[in-house]
């Protein structure tokens, strides 16, 4: 004897990890509906699927996006129908064209009882890059921020009682350019510099040439997927241009002491969710490769004075909403771990000269 089961079409959306994205649930990083933060400003695409466990064809009758960040999200490849017992894919691209937290709701109208199927997405574009370096040459780092959207640089000079300078630097930078300031000419003053991820182009304004000459690196370094991260790894006081592949954690560095020959360090440190924060943390004048966890505020170092063995800072510093801003703020020759929260302008610095106790600077420097 048969019991005839007639099942209506059923609509279920699966996330990037294959788990069900429940109708109207909050955006979730492991399911791919939370795109996290993007400091590079490059589009990210995630694939989702729609399953139909019913015995009738599921019809998709319309897709709408709403919410303040709708312009930053695009839905592609939405099927018109999913057959009985079938599955079909679509993609959502987060294109962080606007600074700040972006959210949208994608509503999928369909022929099941689970309609409209609402999916919450979120993603965030960090507004500024960090440009903390010693621009005035007094051995103390000068806190700074650079806004990619406007090309405006803000720096508080330590030698002028942290007086704030706001400048466009004759148009150095702008959309598509990240800051990579460091002392490239070895005169102890940081040189404002920018790196274009799309092309691997480096542009440097040299302090030793009165900031009047803009130098472009003759060879490209980096490109899509690579973050710029200069530091003086060989200890000759000339910054070494370097890049970091954010997914694999591969590093490439052009050593100034080796005529800028490029060395590759595969899987050195980092990977997805980590930023490079290399600086000289142990004060031996050799930069120490280091990474920072964007969401958890974990810091990991390979200290040059300790054979480059990896070790982690005992306490987290920063996390979601913060950008790392390590530099030698107290001028004792050791870099100080630090983070800044752009939305509030709050900074937190662990000064090496103060036993790495936490210094809170509310409303210090932000947008």
Could you tell me which stretch among 185-193, 219-227, 292-300, 322-330 binds Ca ion (CB under 5 A)? 185-193
Q: Is 332 in the site for Ca ion (CB under 5 A)?
A: no
Could you tell me which stretch among 60-68, 87-95, 153-161, 349-357 binds Ca ion (CB under 5 A)? 153-161
Q: Which of 229, 237, 153 is nearest to 195 (CA)?
A: 229
Q: Is 140 in the site for Ca ion (CB under 5 A)?
A: yes
Q: Is 288 in the site for Ca ion (CB under 5 A)?
A: yes
CB 347 within 8 A of CB 331: no
Q: Is 112 in the site for Ca ion (CB under 5 A)?
A: no
Q: Which of 49, 61, 51, 109 is nearest to 85 (CA)?
A: 51
Which of 93, 284, 313, 366 touches Ca ion (CB under 5 A)? 284
Nearer to Ca ion, 42 or 286 (CB): 286
Backbone region of residue 184 per phi and psi (left: phi > 0; alpha: psi in -120 to 50; beta: other values): alpha
Q: Is 263 in the site for Ca ion (CB under 5 A)?
A: no
Among positions 35-54, residues that touch Ca ion (CB under 5 A) are none
Q: Is 304 in the site for Ca ion (CB under 5 A)?
A: yes
Could you tell me which stretch among 9-17, 173-181, 234-242, 344-352 binds Ca ion (CB under 5 A)? 234-242
Which of 286, 313, 316, 359 touches Ca ion (CB under 5 A)? 286
Q: How far apart are CA 291 and CA 314, in angstroms?
A: 14
Cα 174 to chain centroid distance, Å, stands at 17
CB 18 within 8 A of CB 28: no
Least spacing, CB of residue 165 vs Ca ion, in Å = 12
Q: To 5 degrees, how large is the angle CA 268–CA 272–CA 277? A: 55
Q: How far apart are CA 249 and CA 270, in angstroms?
A: 5
Q: Is 232 in the site for Ca ion (CB under 5 A)?
A: yes
Q: Is 330 in the site for Ca ion (CB under 5 A)?
A: no
Q: Which of 232, 137, 235 is nearest to 188 (CA)?
A: 137
Q: How far apart are CA 119 and CA 348, in angstroms?
A: 36
Q: Is 256 in the site for Ca ion (CB under 5 A)?
A: yes
Which of 189, 214, 262, 345 touches Ca ion (CB under 5 A)? 189
Nearer to Ca ion, 114 or 159 (CB): 159
Q: Is 183 in the site for Ca ion (CB under 5 A)?
A: yes
Q: To 5 degrees, how large is the angle CA 262–CA 265–CA 270? A: 130
Nearer to Ca ion, 75 or 254 (CB): 254
Task: Write out the two tokens for 69.
Answer: 């960040």
Q: Which of 160, 127, 162, 154 is nearest to 323 (CA)?
A: 127
Which of 102, 104, 207, 227 touches Ca ion (CB under 5 A)? 207
Least spacing, CB of residue 49 vs Ca ion, in Å = 48
Neighbours of 198 (CB within 10 A): 12
Nearer to Ca ion, 288 or 294 (CB): 288
Which of 240, 294, 328, 330 touches Ca ion (CB under 5 A)? 240
Please provide residue 353's backbone torsions phi and psi, each rounded to the nearest 5 degrees: -75, -10
Q: Is 158 in the site for Ca ion (CB under 5 A)?
A: yes
Judged by the rule CB under 5 A, the positions of this chain that interact with Ca ion are 134, 136, 138, 140, 142, 158, 183, 185, 187, 189, 191, 207, 232, 234, 236, 238, 240, 256, 280, 282, 284, 286, 288, 304
């Amino acid at each position: 004897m048969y019991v005839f089961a007639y099942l209506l079409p059923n609509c279920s959306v699966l996330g990037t990890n294959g788990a069900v994205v429940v109708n109207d649930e909050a955006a979730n990083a492991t399911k791919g509906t939370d795109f996290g933060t993007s400091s590079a400003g490059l589009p990210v695409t995630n694939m989702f699927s729609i399953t139909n466990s019913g015995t009738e064809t599921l019809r998709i009758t319309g897709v709408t996006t709403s919410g303040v960040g709708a312009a930053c999200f695009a839905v592609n490849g939405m099927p018109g129908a999913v057959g009985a017992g079938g599955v079909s894919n679509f993609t959502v691209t987060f294109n962080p064209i606007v600074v700040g937290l972006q959210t949208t709701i994608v509503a999928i109208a369909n022929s099941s009882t689970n309609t409209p199927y609402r999916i919450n997405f979120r993603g965030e574009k960090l507004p500024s890059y960090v440009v903390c370096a010693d621009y005035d040459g007094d051995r103390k780092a000068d806190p700074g921020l650079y806004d990619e959207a406007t090309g405006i640089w803000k720096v508080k000079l330590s030698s002028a009682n942290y007086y704030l300078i706001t400048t466009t630097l004759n148009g150095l930078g702008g959309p598509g350019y990240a800051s990579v300031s460091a002392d490239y000419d070895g005169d102890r003053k940081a040189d404002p510099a920018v790196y274009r991820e799309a092309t691997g182009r480096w542009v440097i304004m040299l302090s030793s040439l009165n900031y009047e000459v803009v130098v472009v690196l003759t060879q490209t370094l980096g490109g899509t997927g690579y973050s710029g991260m200069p530091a003086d790894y060989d200890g000759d006081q000339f910054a070494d241009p370097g890049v970091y592949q954010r997914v694999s954690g591969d590093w490439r560095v052009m050593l100034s002491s080796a005529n800028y020959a490029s060395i590759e360090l595969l899987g050195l440190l980092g990977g997805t969710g980590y930023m490079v924060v290399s600086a000289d943390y142990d004060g031996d004048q050799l930069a120490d490769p280091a990474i920072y966890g964007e969401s958890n505020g974990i810091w990991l170092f390979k200290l040059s004075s300790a054979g480059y063995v990896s070790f982690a800072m005992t306490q987290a510093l920063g996390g979601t909403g913060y950008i790392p801003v390590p530099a030698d703020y107290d001028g004792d020759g050791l870099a100080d771990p630090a983070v800044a929260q752009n939305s509030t302008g709050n900074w937190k610095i662990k000064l090496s000269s103060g036993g790495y106790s936490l210094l809170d600077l509310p409303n210090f420097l932000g947008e």
